[in-house]
Amino acid sequence: MCAESDGDLNPKYFQDPAVLGQFRAIFEPRWDAALEAIEKRKLTVDDKFVIAGYWANLLTATPAWRKIGQELYEREVHSILPMIEKQVPRPDSLKGIKLKVEVDEDYIKAVATKNLLATALGLYHQAWTILTNNTAHEFLTSDNPSAIFPPRAPGEPVARILPFAPRLCISAIMDRNPVYRTDLTEAHFKMPPKAWITYKRAVPDGVKLANRLTVVNAQRFVFSRVATSGIAALIKKYGAYSAKLEHSVKPLPSRGGVTTEARIFVGRAK
């Protein structure tokens, strides 16, 4: 079992510091039954929402993705510092001092927590592919289990996988069109999913690709129920890689501002 110490708590940004734990408590008790429904191919809309809810947590609330969110916010703020200084000039005593932007990781955790229901609903409306694995290779998982498959070019959709058993894995192309909004009402949660699921048999190369993505996206730990020289070699080869943020800033002279662009890519740790 992999757990983050006090991971459910965020006392700095919520009146109730246990709000993340309360969200997780909605879905965790129903998780096993929902996965059993997938295995038996008897998934209901309620089961899909349970999986989407906990997937949202695994997608946004892990330490690895909070670090990326923290870096993104810091770069975004740094890119607009010149505009801020034009509007609010520094006093003479601070001129010439280089500013450094640091965003509290718990703030990123709070932002992710506030958006968990919207993220869950967005996942619920995605088309899912359930990969059944009868190959010689089992799916791996990690302490950051919702691995990302970065797009080949900026603007293209991102793919996500979630291995949830050695022989089962969910794959989804993250189309943002179905539903992703924060002004949610009870009616939004009564809507049936806009897309359903399909089952496909995984091929050996597909399982190997999924396992590479799992290793690349892991923060510290990769989990397998068997120990093999092949898994050890995979971790040795790709353990130094991780999902990284690429952030660019372009000036807009006509408006006196900037435009920013961010994308996720896979790269080797420096």
Q: Where are the domains of the chain?
A: 19-180+191-268
pLDDT tens by residue, 66-120: 888 899 999 988 888 888 888 888 887 777 788 888 999 999 999 999 999 999 9
pLDDT tens by residue, 139-180: 999 999 999 887 777 677 888 999 999 999 999 988 765 555
Mean pLDDT of 21-32: 93
Share of the chain above pLDDT 70, in %: 94
pLDDT of residue 111: 92
pLDDT of residue 2: 59
In this prediction the pTM is: 0.86
Q: For residue 27, name the pLDDT band (cuts at 50, 70, 90).
A: very high
pLDDT of residue 179: 52
Q: How far is CA 5 from CA 9, 217, 227, in A?
A: 9, 20, 27
pLDDT of 244 higher than 90:
no
The closest alpha carbon to 164, from 51, 3, 7, 14, belongs to 51
Question: Quick one: CA torsion of 200, 244, 60, 46, rounded to 10 degrees?
Answer: -10
pLDDT of residue 26: 92
